[in-house]
């Protein structure tokens, strides 16, 4: 498969603490200790531990030592996991360190042994400029410049995490005066909650620029790490934005299966020919229902606009585990639909499209 959404690997080998694979961000010792205690009680932790022990040929209690030993040759260990996962390409969201992006993609490619296509996340630039006291026009201009420079800088698309900032209820009617005012009126708030009107204005324009550049645009929807306000991450909140000329022109991917709003995502993908459904992340955490969640999207949405990913991050095992579960989920769903009468050749085509061809088409693999 080609992984339609993942992040850099920050691990470098050694013992693996499974409870660190979590959506909770707090990094103080007390929170870590609580995560260590509750981790083993989560099904995703249990299944990842069992699968990984199987892969390493040890028992679950032996896992930390076995992983430490197996990962001594780190590049070989990572490559082995990627080969076993069937991942043959990756769309990379490098996250925060924009300066290192192209070199990060190159070294990442080297490490995992398959092609990597980085995408440009807009918020690091927007947040930095807001934090430095820039005006609305300056921030908008900087985003325009960065997006137009993106292809030459080695980016294959864009991403916004506005869901983590001021939410997906984007007002497409805001103008520059409102954007400017929104900065002044929120001066006392943390940067991430500042300038809703400005962020809304930027996103509408950015969709227009991505359409001009013919590069796809990922929008974070649904759950994520504990910084998100889930009530602001429902993809249905994007409806007004998606009705604008920019919202209709861009190639938009709503990512993470919009968990838990799969049906809303499916409807948007069905109703809007430029919207794509990207299925990653829930496979890492909601591990028992992957096939059911995929079905909620795939029974309604055109399968030519559904992409499968892992949201792998930090530890290479997350890519491997996410890829295995989503491929198993599809295998289960394929059997279900075969029993309902779908033809084998049609099912084969759907599998090839959602696992590989749709992502390859959008990101030029
Ligand atoms: Zn992600």
Instruction: Supply φ then ψ for residue 167, to 5 degrees.
Output: 95, 170
**Higher-scoring residue by pLDDT: 322, 96:** 322
What is the pLDDT averaged over residues 49-55?
Answer: 98
Distance CA 259, CA 282 (A): 7
Spacing of C-alpha 191 from chain mean position: 22
Q: Quote the ligand 1 centre to 236 CA distance (angstroms).
A: 20
Q: Worst-scoring range by mean pLDDT, 27-41, 182-196, 260-274?
A: 27-41
Number of Cβ within a 10 Å radius of residue 124? 17
pLDDT number for residue 96: 65
- Please tell me the predicted confidence (pLDDT) of residue 167: 98
CA of 145 to the centre of ligand 1 (A): 24
Coil/strand/helix, residue 287: helix
Query: What percentage of the chain reaches a pLDDT higher than 70?
Result: 97
Q: pLDDT value at position 179?
A: 98
CB atoms within 10 A of CB 320: 25
Domains of the chain: 2-16+74-363 (3.20.20.140)
Q: For residue 193, count CB atoms less than 10 angstroms from its CB and return exposed for 0-12, middle for 13-18, buried for 19 or more.
A: middle
Output DSSP code: residue 256. Answer: G
Asked if 182 contacts 196 with a C-beta cutoff of 8 angstroms, the reply is yes
Peptide bond into 217 cis (omega under 30): no
Vertex 332: Cα angle to 327 and 333 (nearest 5)? 95
Residues β-bridged to residue 89: 2
Q: Ligand 1 centroid to 247 CA: how many Å?
A: 22
Report CA(267)–ligand 1 centroid distance (Å). 22
Q: What is the pLDDT of residue 107?
A: 80
Cα 311 to ligand 1 centroid, rounded to whole Å: 5
| Strands 158-160, 120-121: pairing kind | parallel
Going from the Cα of 340 to the center of ligand 1, the distance in angstroms, rounded, reads 34
pLDDT of 103 above 80: no
Confidence grade of residue 108 (pLDDT, cut at 50, 70, 90): confident
- Residue-averaged pLDDT of the chain: 95
Integer Cα distance of 18 and 40 in angstroms = 8
Q: How far is the CA of 222 from the centre of ligand 1 (A)?
A: 11
pTM of the model: 0.96
**What pLDDT is recorded for position 106?**
73
Contact in structure between 323 and 85 (CB atoms under 8 Å): yes
Structural contact between residues 273 and 252, judged by C-beta atoms closer than 8 angstroms:
no
- The pair of structure tokens assigned to 115 is 């092609």
Strand partners, 292: none
**pLDDT tens across 291-310, in order?**
999 999 999 999 999 999 99
What's the pLDDT at 101? 53
| Helix residue ranges per DSSP H, the chain | 29-38, 43-56, 63-70, 74-85, 101-112, 123-131, 136-149, 176-185, 196-213, 239-242, 245-249, 262-271, 282-285, 290-298, 316-339, 344-352, 358-363
Summarised one tens digit per residue, pLDDT across range 223-242 is 999 999 999 999 999 999 99
Split at pLDDT 50, 70, 90, the class of 102 is low
CA 5–ligand 1 middle distance (angstroms): 6
């Amino acid at each position: 498969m080609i992984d339609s959404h993942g992040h850099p690997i920050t691990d470098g080998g050694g013992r693996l603490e499974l409870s660190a694979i979590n959506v909770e961000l707090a990094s103080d010792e007390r929170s870590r200790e609580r995560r260590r205690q509750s981790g083993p009680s989560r099904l995703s932790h249990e299944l990842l531990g069992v699968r990984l022990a199987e892969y390493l040929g040890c028992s679950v209690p032996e896992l930390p030592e076995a992983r430490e030993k197996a990962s001594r040759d780190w590049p070989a260990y990572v490559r082995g996991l990627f080969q076993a996962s069937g991942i043959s390409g990756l769309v990379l969201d490098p996250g925060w360190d924009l300066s290192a992006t192209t070199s990060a993609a190159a070294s990442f490619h080297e490490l995992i042994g398959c092609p990597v296509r980085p995408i440009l996340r807009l918020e690091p630039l927007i947040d930095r400029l807001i934090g430095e006291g820039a005006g609305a026009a300056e921030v908008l201009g900087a985003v325009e410049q960065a997006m137009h420079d993106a292809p030459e800088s080695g980016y294959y698309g864009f991403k916004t995490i506005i869901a983590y900032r001021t939410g997906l209820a984007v007002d497409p009617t805001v103008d520059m005066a409102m954007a400017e005012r929104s900065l002044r009126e929120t001066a006392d708030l943390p940067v991430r909650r500042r300038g809703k009107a400005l962020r809304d204005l930027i996103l509408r324009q950015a969709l227009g620029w991505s359409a001009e550049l013919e590069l796809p645009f990922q929008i974070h929807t649904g759950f994520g790490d504990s910084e998100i306000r889930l009530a602001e991450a429902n993809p249905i909140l994007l409806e007004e934005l998606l009705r604008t000329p920019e919202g209709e022109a861009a190639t938009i991917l709503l990512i993470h299966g919009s968990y838990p709003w799969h049906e809303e995502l499916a409807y948007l993908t069905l109703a809007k020919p430029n919207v794509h459904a990207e299925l990653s992340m829930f496979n890492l955490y909601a591990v028992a229902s992957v096939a059911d969640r995929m079905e909620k999207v795939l029974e309604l949405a055109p399968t030519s606009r559904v992409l499968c990913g892992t949201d792998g991050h930090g530890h290479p095992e997350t890519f491997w585990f996410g890829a295995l579960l989503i491929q198993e989920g599809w295998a289960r769903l394929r059997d279900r639909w075969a029993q309902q009468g779908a033809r084998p050749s049609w099912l084969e085509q759907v599998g090839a499209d959602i696992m590989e061809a749709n992502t390859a088409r959008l990101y030029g693999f």
